[in-house]
Amino acid sequence: ETGVTQSPTHLIKTRGQQVTLRCSSQSGHNTVSWYQQALGQGPQFIFQYYREEENGRGNFPPRFSGLQFPNYSSELNVNALELDDSALYLCASSPVRQKNTGELFFGEGSRLTVL
C-alpha cells in the first residue's frame, strides 16, 4: 500500500512568485487536506477537499487555492508569495467513511522558502 507522497520536497521562491505543490493520496482515500506548519508551531489547517470539492477552509486568504483530481491527488497553489509563506506544507489523506471520522495520514511535506 503506497502512502501519501508529496512533491517537491524542498523549493525556494522569491516574493511575488507563484508555487504549486502536489500530493498523491494514499490508496483508497477520497479526502485530502492541506496544512501549513511554521517552525516551532503546530500545523495550521488550510483547506480540505472531498470528491473534488472544497468542503472546509481555515483562515487563509484566497491566494491559497487548491484542486483535487478524479484520482484523488491534489494540488496546493499559492499566488503572490510573501516572506511569511515560508513553512513546511503538509498534505494528509483520509479514508472517510462518515463525516470527518477518518484517521489522517500525512506525507513528508514540502519545505518552501520565500526570499
Instruction: Please report, as ranges, the residues that interact with other proteins according to CB under 8 A.
Output: 4, 33, 35, 40-45, 48, 55-56, 58, 88, 90, 92, 99-101, 103-109, 111
Q: Check: CB of residue 32 under 8 Å from CB of residue 21.
A: no
Q: Which is nearer to other proteins, 15 or 30 (CB)?
A: 30
Query: Is 84 in a helix, a strand, or coil?
Result: helix
Q: How far apart are CA 17 and CA 11, in angstroms?
A: 12
Cβ nearer to other proteins, comparing 82 with 103: 103
Nearer to other proteins, 18 or 93 (CB): 93
Rounded Cα–Cα distance for residues 2 and 23 (Å): 12
Least Cβ distance, residue 48 to other proteins (angstroms): 6
The neighbouring-strand residues paired with 31 are 50, 94
Minimum distance of other proteins from residue 16's CB (angstroms):
27
Residue with cell 490508496: 27
Q: How far is the CB of 29 from other proteins (least distance, A)?
A: 13
